[in-house]
Amino acid sequence: MKKAVLVTGANSGIGLALCERLLCQDAEIQLCLACRNMQRAEAARTALLVSHSDAHITLLHLDVGSVSSVLKAAQEVKMRYNRLDSLYLNAGIMPNPQVDIKALLKGLFSSKVIHMFATAEGLLTQHDHVNSDGLQEVFATNLFGHFLLVRELEPVLCQPGHTSRLIWTSSSNARRTTFSLSDIQHQKGAEPYSSSKYASDLLSLALNRHYNDQGLYSSVVCPGLVMTNLTYGILPSFFWTLIMPVMWLIRVFTNTFTLTPYNGAEALIWLFLQNPESLDPRAKYHSLTSGFGNNYTQPRKMDIDEDMSEALYEQLLELESKVRKKVKKEEEDPRVHEQYLHQTE
Ligand SMILES: NC(=O)C1=CN([C@@H]2O[C@H](COP(=O)(O)OP(=O)(O)OC[C@H]3O[C@@H](n4cnc5c(N)ncnc54)[C@H](OP(=O)(O)O)[C@@H]3O)[C@@H](O)[C@H]2O)C=CC1
Ligand SMILES: CC(C)=CCC[C@@H](C)[C@H]1CC[C@H]2C3=C(CC[C@]12C)[C@@]1(C)CCC(=O)C[C@@H]1CC3
């Protein structure tokens, strides 16, 4: 039976490299690229077909930051597939990032320098905003849209007698102190990216608790620091090229500077090859690259607890029920959405 695999954010960076590597691993898979921009999705499909001309690759329009788009895309997936074997929750954003140069210089001369390069702790802030659904954009894209997608795809992910897997692209930047159960969307702070990634770590644990008995298993991955559109949004590409020798040197000490999307996809591919039942729900699987350029995957315990993950899960269910009610009202009377937008302005 051919495996069906769906990847969100598949048109560039780690998502695209993952698709390439999945096809090298199993040329028979039915691969679905779920992207918000169909031109970029088509370009990615064309690029993949150059090296895998017989591959079965379809496109799906999905803006994971929009509730209506997620619901529509999920309907389409349920029409196309009886079963999904793997769902990669990879799409992610880091809008308007700011590097704290002072903290970077100070960190360079401290004993925590390696930790700083591996996690970016204390170095990065972002400016987030409210989207057209009235949700914080980073939360909506990196976490909530994916949660809603999983919930909607339950019938194709939870098939009797089969196991399916969810694989979240999390980050080493995920930090407990940036996340709060009283502000899960991170409306108040300046580190929405870290908060959303920490929330995905918590959510993965909760999903395992609620869905393992239905054959659905969830894991989280950290791809390391990878040169992609996301990192080119932090510093310009010419700067990264300029400091590449320094980064190769840093890689010798941390192994977390995977640097290329191919290397960053290592743990995502490794998980694809494992029996999901054998995986540790409390581990984050890290893509690592040694100083000699060898790739490997290493599980590391996450700083998460059951109570917090359950509390987040309950809040997400509540929010899901609210947005579903709103969508239903809007379907009945489109003016509700306009009124709603005026209220959130
Ligand atoms: N690069 C790094 O160092 C690290 C990255 N990560 C994570 O890896 C994942 C992939 O990012 P990366 O490859 O680096 O960066 P890219 O920007 O190259 O890839 C992000 C992908 O997500 C897509 N995307 C963004 N917003 C949406 C949306 N609303 N709906 C659908 N698709 C969307 C982008 O589409 P589009 O082209 O249309 O923008 C793009 O395909 C992210 O979750 C990121 O947080 C984690 C740790 C480190
Ligand atoms: C000399 C040198 C390498 C300078 C770059 C300093 C910083 C811009 C980087 C140091 C650690 C990096 C990092 C990320 C972004 C760029 C840095 C802050 C991420 C936050 C990118 C997205 C992630 O999910 C995790 C990364 C951790 C490390």
pLDDT attached to residue 333: 82
Task: Say how far apart CA 133 and CA 192 lie, in whole Å.
Answer: 17
Q: Phi and psi for 220 in degrees, rounded to 5?
A: -120, 150
Contact 221, 266 (CB under 8 A): no
Give the mutation target among 8, 11, 14 for probing the ligand 1 site: most ligand atoms within 8 A of CB.
14
Per-residue pLDDT of the chain (345 residues; tens, 9 = 90+): 899 999 999 999 999 999 999 999 999 999 999 999 999 999 999 999 999 999 999 999 999 999 999 999 999 999 999 999 999 999 999 999 999 999 999 999 999 999 999 999 999 999 999 999 999 999 999 999 999 999 999 999 999 999 999 999 999 999 999 999 999 999 999 999 999 999 999 999 999 999 999 999 999 999 999 999 999 999 999 999 999 999 999 999 999 999 999 999 999 999 999 999 999 999 999 999 999 999 999 999 999 999 999 999 999 999 999 999 999 898 888 776 666 555 544
Tell me, using a 6 A CB cutoff, whether residue 249 lines ligand 2: no
pLDDT on residue 334: 72
**222 Cα nearest atom in ligand 2:** 24
| Ligand 2 site, residue 243, Cβ cutoff 6 A | yes
The response to whether residue 225 sits with its C-beta less than 6 Å from ligand 2 reads: yes
Q: Which of 193, 198, 285, 313 is catalytic?
A: 193
What are the DSSP E strand ranges found in 153-215? 164-169
Q: Point out the ligand nearest to the CA of residue 113.
A: 2
Which residue has the least CA distance to atom 26 on ligand 2? 225
Closest residue CA from atom 41 of ligand 1: 9
142 Cα nearest atom in ligand 1? 43
Q: Judge if the beta carbon of residue 103 lies within 6 A of ligand 2.
A: no
To test the pocket of ligand 2, the residue of 234, 240, 249, 259 to mutate (highest count of ligand atoms within 8 Å of its CB) is: 234
Atom of ligand 1 lying closest to residue 94 CA: 45
Work out the number of other CB atoms within 10 angstroms of the CB of residue 86: 21
Fold of 4-320: Rossmann fold (3.40.50)
The rounded Å distance from CA 240 to ligand 1 centre is 18
Q: Is 81 a catalytic residue?
A: no
From the list 237, 241, 257, the residue with the least C-alpha distance to 249 is: 257
Characterise 122 by phi-psi region: left (phi > 0), alpha (psi -120 to 50), beta (else).
left
Residue 135 CA: which ligand is closest? Answer: 1
One-letter identity of residue 33: L
Predicted structure pTM score? 0.97
Contact present, 187 and 195 (Cβ < 8 Å): no
63 Cβ inside 6 Å of ligand 1: yes
Specify the residue with its C-alpha closest to ligand 1, atom 43. Answer: 92
Interface TM-score (ipTM) > 0.90: yes
How many angstroms does the Cα of residue 45 sit away from the middle of ligand 2? Answer: 29
**Which residues have C-beta within 8 Å of that of residue 105, sequence separation ≥ 6?**
none
Nearest ligand by distance to the CA of 100: 2
Q: Which residue owns the Cα nearest ligand 1 atom 2?
A: 226
Q: Domain coordinates of the chain in residue numbers?
A: 4-320
124 lines ligand 2 (CB under 6 A): yes
CB 66 within 8 A of CB 131: yes
Cβ of residue 99 lying under 6 Å from some atom of ligand 2: yes
